[in-house]
Amino acid sequence: MKGIYYLFVFNFLLQQCIFAQEVSFRYNFDDCTYEEASISFPGMTPGGNPQCVCGLGESSYYIDGGDDFLTVSNQANVLLDEDFTLDFYFWMDDQSGETDIFSHRNGCASLDSLMALRYFSATNELLFEIGSNVNNYHSVRSVLSKDNCWHRFTLVKFKLEYLIYFDNQLVKRIISRENISFSRRAGLTFANSPCNTVNLANKMKGRIDEITLYKRALSDLEILNFYKFPDKIKTENTTIFKGESILIESGTTCASVVTWTPSVTLDDRSALSPLATPIESTTYRVSYNNGTCTSTDTVRIFVADKDKLDCDNLLLPKAFTPNNDGLNDRYGISNVFLIDTMEYFEIYDRWGAKVWETREVAEQWDGTLKGEPLNSGMYLYKIKYTCNQEAKLNIDNFTLIR
């Protein structure tokens, strides 16, 4: 277990180093100013009088749906010509009709050089638009989850590909006819679209936080790794042995009241991160009451009986697809709780050459050898381990699909 911990710490520190080097700007508002976090990029320009309130870190800015807005320096425009990732979080108060969240466009007379994110209450949908002209215009709609107060928008540009994510889910992959160059006379702005009068749209009323522009296209895994877990359970569905306890960890929250159910096997039903000791497999549900908005989330804790373990059932999939879509991208052991100690976990190609190995129970294979993707085909794994003090050797084949 120490090896897993040190690997986690190393990966975390490496991630923070990469994060610092590859960010063009980041506005976290934690000091209640409009300055960029590293002070290496111009501060934001506010309109009206946005209020500094509780946010994902320490603070966010609340815009009132009237005169308030936030605008990023026009120096960001040239950065949008190359590969980038734009990422931010928002919390909308209830508003009827059409709501302007953010935009980058120079007027409303045409579809030239634009991107915009709007919300429509009648259908409870977000609409994102992007394009360079009428012949290269793209849009995507997605229903907004009512289980969340905070929402996340992510736009990834890789060459002529534009990938749109709502709440960490890839909702559309766009192939543009050309590189979309945004007007140098406009800027990234929140709740201040030049089209609000024409569209009879509301300015967004709510909170904005963690506005970040990366200098490159992030992968699906990186997007998930950078997630802030606002009003969310960080602990994943997992398995423990009967009689054991587990800390169910929450992410960041502004909630004044937190309530967990069922509560009989929790040490504190109102704690942000309670200790659970379930006697049987249990789904815990939490509600984060923020006053004007309530978020909910669930986690499933499976309970296994050591006396009834099937030590051969490590539960490895018969196939995986390492294509960075966030689904089945890595190959590894699901029932890690069965393993007391592991001597090795090895993977071989069809010719018997070893392509990967580990001695860490939780480590998984990404389908590469020395950083290069391997071809589709049949592979074989060998796992030597102990379970309930009994030595085991598990051998089987699986398929890599690209």
CA angle 373, 378, 382 (to 5 degrees): 95
Sign of CA dihedral 228, 232, 235, 236: negative
Q: What is the pLDDT of residue 9?
A: 42
Choose which CATH entry (3.90.45.10, 2.60.120.200, 3.40.1530.20, 3.40.190.10) describes domain 21-225. 2.60.120.200
Listing DSSP states for 217-284 in one string gives: PPPHHHHHHT---TTSB-SPSEEEETT--EE--B-----SEEEEES-TTBS-TT-SS-EE--SS-EEE
For domain 238-306, give the fold.
Immunoglobulin-like (2.60.40)
Dump pLDDT digits (tens) for 49-93.
999 999 998 999 999 999 999 999 989 988 999 999 999 999 999
CA distance between the termini of the chain = 33
Is residue 98 classed exposed, middle or buried when 0-12, 13-18 and 19+ CB atoms within 10 A define those classes?
A: middle
Dump pLDDT digits (tens) for 252-277.
999 999 999 999 999 999 999 999 99
Q: What is the pLDDT of residue 2?
A: 42
pLDDT at 7 over 70: no
Dump pLDDT digits (tens) for 142-171.
999 999 999 999 999 999 999 999 999 999
Strand partners, 60: 53
- The one-letter amino acid at 330: R
pLDDT at 184 over 90: no
User: What's the whole-number mean pLDDT along residues 178-187?
Assistant: 89
Q: What is the pLDDT of residue 220?
A: 87
Dump pLDDT digits (tens) for 333-391.
999 989 999 999 999 999 999 999 999 999 999 999 988 999 999 999 999 999 988 99
pLDDT at 20 over 90: no
Q: Which residue has the tokens 């590894």?
A: 332
Q: What per-residue string of b and e applies to 309-337 under the rule 16 or more CB within 10 Å gives b?
A: eebeebebeeebbbeeeeeebebbbebbb
Looking at domain 312-400, its CATH class is: mainly beta
Q: What is the pLDDT of residue 1?
A: 41
The single-letter DSSP state of residue 166 is E
Domain ranges of the chain: 21-225, 238-306, 312-400
